[in-house]
C-alpha cells in the first residue's frame, strides 16, 4: 500500500510514495479524508467528492542533485541489437497512424502490427488518452526489424481522458478536476479488472487462436497499471515495462513476477526509483533519462525538440530490446 505525495511542478501525475504505507490501498479504495488530513502540507481542502486524492502543486521539481545512473541486473542491456531495434524514423509532427481502431471487449482499441505476428504487447496509455506521440510509439513497437508484435492499446478511459490543459494544476478548479478524475475514471482497480478479458478477446486475432506471449507497457498512470498487472498472481504477461511511471511504490516491485523495465524521467524521485529497483527479484533494466520530463515517451513529448526526439527513440529501442530478450 502506498500514500499520496506531492505533484512535482510540471509533472503530469500525482506521486505516490511508500513513506506512509498504511494510508492508501490503490488496489482497493481511494484514500480517506483522514489520511489526507495526516498529510496536510501536501493537500488543499476540497469538496468531499474530490478531497480524497487532490494535491496542491509542489513549489519545485523533486529532482536528484545528480542524475542517478543506469542500473541493471540480470538483463544484458549494454548493447542494442541493430536487428531487433532498427525502428522507423520518428515523425516530429503530423504523424499518420499505421494501425486502425477495433472494438475489443467493448472498448475502442488501437491495433497495429502485422496480422501474422505471434507475440503481442498491451499498451496502457497515460491519462490523456490517444495522442499522436503515444500512437506513434505503439507503431514503433510493432515494426522493429526482427521481432514483429501485434500491439493493442485500449481506450481504458472510455472516451473521457483527462484534459491536458489541467497540467500543471495551478488553479483550485484544476485540482478538483484532477482529484475527481483519479478517484473515479482513473482508479487503478477499474482498469485492472478489464485486462484479462481484453487479452482473451485479443487472442482471437492471433494466427493460431492465441498469441505465444504477451508483454505490457504503461506510461505514467499506465505504468502503475503495468506494475500491478504483473504481481504475484500474474499469468498473462511474460515481460513488463513502465515509462515515466506515476505513483511509484517500491512495495509493488516485491510482487513483480516477470522481467521488468523501468524508464524514469528526471521528475520521478531518485529515492523511489532506487528503492523500486532494489526490491525487484526478477531480471530488470532500471534507467533514468536525466534530461527528460515526466511524459517524454507519451502525450507530453515534444518531438520537434531534437534531444527529446533522440531520447524518445532510445526509450522505445530499450523496451523493444528487453521484450525481445524476455518475451
**Higher confidence at residue 56 or residue 237?**
237
For residue 58, is pLDDT > 70? Answer: no
> What's the mean pLDDT when you consider all of the chain?
79
Least confident span in 21-30, 201-210, 231-240, 262-271: 21-30
Q: What percent of the chain has pLDDT over 70?
A: 73
For residue 31, is pLDDT > 90? Answer: no
Strands (DSSP E) contained in the chain are 3-4, 16-17, 71-73, 100-104, 107-112, 119-124, 149-154, 213-219, 239-243, 260-265, 284-289
**Higher confidence at residue 166 or residue 204?**
204
Sign of the Cα torsion 316, 221, 14, 70 reads: negative
pLDDT in the model for residue 87: 78
Give me 3's grid cell: 500514500
Q: Is the CATH code 3.40.50.1820 the one for domain 71-164+183-326? A: yes
Is there a contact between 5 and 15 (Cβ–Cβ < 8 Å)? yes
For residue 100, is pLDDT > 70? Answer: yes
pLDDT in the model for residue 223: 97
Give me 123's grid cell: 499498451
pTM over 0.85: no
For residue 270, is pLDDT > 80? Answer: yes
For residue 59, is pLDDT > 90? Answer: no
CA distance 102 to 196: 17
Question: Domain residue spans in the chain?
Answer: 71-164+183-326
- How far is the first Cα of the chain from the last one, in angstroms, to the nearest whole number? 29
pLDDT in the model for residue 147: 86
pLDDT in the model for residue 178: 84
Give me 18's grid cell: 511508500
Amino acid at each position: 500500500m502506498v500514500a499520496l505525495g506531492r505533484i512535482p511542478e510540471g509533472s503530469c501525475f500525482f506521486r505516490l510514495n511508500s513513506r506512509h504505507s498504511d494510508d492508501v490501498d490503490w488496489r482497493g479504495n481511494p484514500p480517506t479524508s483522514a489520511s489526507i488530513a495526516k498529510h496536510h502540507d501536501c493537500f488543499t481542502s476540497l469538496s468531499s467528492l474530490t478531497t480524497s486524492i487532490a494535491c496542491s502543486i509542489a513549489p519545485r521539481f523533486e529532482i536528484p542533485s545528480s542524475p542517478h545512473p543506469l542500473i541493471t541486473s540480470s538483463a544484458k542491456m549494454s548493447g542494442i541489437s541493430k536487428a531487433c531495434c532498427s525502428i522507423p524514423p520518428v515523425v516530429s509532427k503530423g504523424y499518420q497512424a499505421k494501425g486502425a481502431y477495433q472494438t475489443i471487449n467493448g472498448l475502442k482499441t488501437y491495433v497495429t502490427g502485422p496480422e501474422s505476428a505471434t507475440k503481442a504487447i498491451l499498451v496502457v496509455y497515460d491519462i490523456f488518452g490517444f495522442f499522436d506521440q503515444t500512437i506513434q510509439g505503439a507503431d514503433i513497437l510493432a515494426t522493429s526489424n526482427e521481432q514483429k508484435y501485434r500491439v493493442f492499446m485500449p481506450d481504458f478511459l472510455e472516451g473521457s481522458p483527462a484534459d491536458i490543459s489541467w497540467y500543471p494544476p495551478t488553479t483550485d478548479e484544476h485540482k478538483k478536476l484532477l482529484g475527481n478524475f483519479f478517484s473515479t475514471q482513473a482508479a487503478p482497480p477499474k482498469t485492472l479488472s478489464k485486462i484479462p478479458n481484453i487479452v482473451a478477446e485479443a487472442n482471437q486475432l492471433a494466427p493460431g487462436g492465441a498469441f505465444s506471449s504477451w508483454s505490457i507497457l504503461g506510461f505514467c498512470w499506465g505504468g502503475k497499471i503495468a506494475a500491478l498487472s504483473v504481481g504475484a498472481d500474474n499469468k498473462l504477461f511474460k515481460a513488463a515495462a513502465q515509462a515515466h511511471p506515476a505513483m511509484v511504490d517500491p512495495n509493488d516491485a516485491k510482487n513483480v513476477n516477470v522481467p521488468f523495465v523501468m524508464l524514469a524521467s528526471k521528475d520521478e524521485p531518485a529515492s523511489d526509483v532506487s528503492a523500486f529497483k532494489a526490491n525487484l527479484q526478477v531480471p530488470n533494466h532500471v534507467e533514468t533519462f536525466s534530461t527528460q520530463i515526466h511524459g517524454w515517451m507519451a502525450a507530453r513529448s515534444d518531438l520537434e525538440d531534437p534531444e527529446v526526439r533522440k531520447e524518445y527513440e532510445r526509450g522505445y529501442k530499450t523496451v523493444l530490446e528487453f521484450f525481445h530478450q524476455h518475451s
